[in-house]
């Protein structure tokens, strides 16, 4: 191979690899759920008033593109805090958040890509310790968990929004107390439940007694009304009606003669006992 041909081949190889390098440094593909922040080396640094959306983009080789996830992200945290009476409580939390896409340039310039560790988690820990410090262990363990969760969320949300980070939720997954404290709380809650159950039984028995009194009074009133409305004449009349119905029956042979001592007819052939 002649020297001239060798130079041409080397030049083509250099151009080929140079083109590959330029292509790789000049093209950026931003995937679904992501956004890009451009840093111009010779043009003012970080671009804060514009962000690159999903898709294929061409940039100058001397510039840099920083890609952020704009989807909701979740971070779990296990932390220790002190309750109102100074008892150490261990809390397991889950935080859902995402950066505000339109403000990614400002986030990149003022905080950086590690904004989770620099801003989000420290703010959540600080708010959680402040809120937990206002409650007793019993409240943390039982009835106040939802209120505590809402208070932490409210306290953190406003602070993070000032830093262009949207907080979607703060969830308390679990609260762990020392064994002796937890046992004492569970015993107290059990006693309260038994007391409420006993009061419920008493109330139920009282209502049942009241129902029986009302029922007895109703029976008494009915008997009084019936006894006042029944007379000897009415009984005789009803007896005569029953005797006439029996006399008209095809299956009975009845002879009625005279009157009995109670004023009713005597029925021959009937079982008079």
- Collect all residues with Cβ–Cβ distance below 8 Å to 66 and sequence separation of at least 6: 36, 37, 38, 39, 108, 113
Q: What is the pTM of this model?
A: 0.59
**pLDDT tens digits, one per residue of 10-38:** 666 777 666 666 556 677 889 999 999 99
Question: Could you tell me if 52 and 145 lie in one domain?
Answer: no
**pLDDT tens digits, one per residue of 76-121:** 988 888 888 777 888 889 999 999 999 999 999 999 999 999 999 9
Query: Is residue 106 a part of any domain in this protein?
Result: no
Query: Is residue 248 a part of any domain in this protein?
Result: yes
Question: Could you tell me if 65 and 89 lie in one domain?
Answer: no
Query: Is residue 125 a part of any domain in this protein?
Result: yes
Can you give the residue range of the structural domain that contains 257?
Answer: 235-268
Question: Could you tell me if 130 and 203 lie in one domain?
Answer: no
CA pair distance 258, 256, nearest whole angstrom: 7
Question: Could you tell me if 92 and 168 lie in one domain?
Answer: yes
Question: Could you tell me if 246 and 222 lie in one domain?
Answer: no
Question: Could you tell me if 140 and 201 lie in one domain?
Answer: no
Question: Could you tell me if 50 and 88 lie in one domain?
Answer: no
Query: Is residue 273 a part of any domain in this protein?
Result: no
Question: Could you tell me if 137 and 82 lie in one domain?
Answer: yes
Q: What are phi and psi of 136, to 5 degrees?
A: -80, 160
CA 83 to chain centre: 25
Sequence length of the chain is 273
Query: Which residues of the chain fall below pLDDT 70?
Result: 1-2, 5-12, 16-25, 141-143, 178-194, 223, 226-239, 242, 244-273
């Amino acid at each position: 191979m002649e020297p001239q041909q060798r130079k041409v081949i080397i030049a083509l190889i250099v151009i080929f690899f140079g083109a590959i390098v330029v292509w790789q440094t000049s093209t950026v593909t931003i995937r679904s759920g992501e956004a890009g922040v451009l840093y111009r080396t010779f043009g003012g640094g970080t671009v804060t008033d514009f962000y690159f959306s999903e898709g294929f983009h061409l940039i100058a080789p001397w510039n840099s593109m920083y890609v952020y996830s704009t989807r909701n992200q979740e971070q779990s945290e296990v932390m220790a805090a002190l309750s109102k009476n100074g008892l150490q409580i261990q809390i397991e939390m889950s935080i859902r958040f995402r950066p505000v896409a339109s403000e990614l340039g400002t986030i990149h310039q003022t905080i950086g890509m590690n904004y989770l560790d620099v801003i989000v988690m420290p703010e959540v820990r600080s708010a959680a310790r402040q809120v937990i410090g206002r409650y007793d262990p019993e409240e943390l363990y039982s009835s106040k968990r939802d209120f505590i969760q809402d208070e932490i969320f409210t306290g953190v949300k406003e602070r993070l929004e000032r830093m262009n980070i949207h907080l979607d939720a703060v969830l308390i997954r679990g609260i762990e107390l020392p064994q002796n404290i937890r046992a004492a709380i569970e015993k107290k809650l059990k006693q309260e439940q038994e007391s409420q159950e006993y009061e419920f039984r008493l109330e139920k028995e009282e209502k049942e007694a009241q129902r029986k009194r009302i029922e007895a009074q109703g029976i008494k009133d009915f008997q009084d009304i019936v006894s006042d409305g029944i007379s000897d004449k009415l009984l005789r009349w009803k007896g005569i009606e029953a005797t006439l119905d029996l006399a008209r029956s095809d299956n009975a042979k009845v002879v009625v003669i005279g009157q009995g001592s109670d004023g009713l007819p005597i029925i021959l052939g009937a079982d008079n006992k």
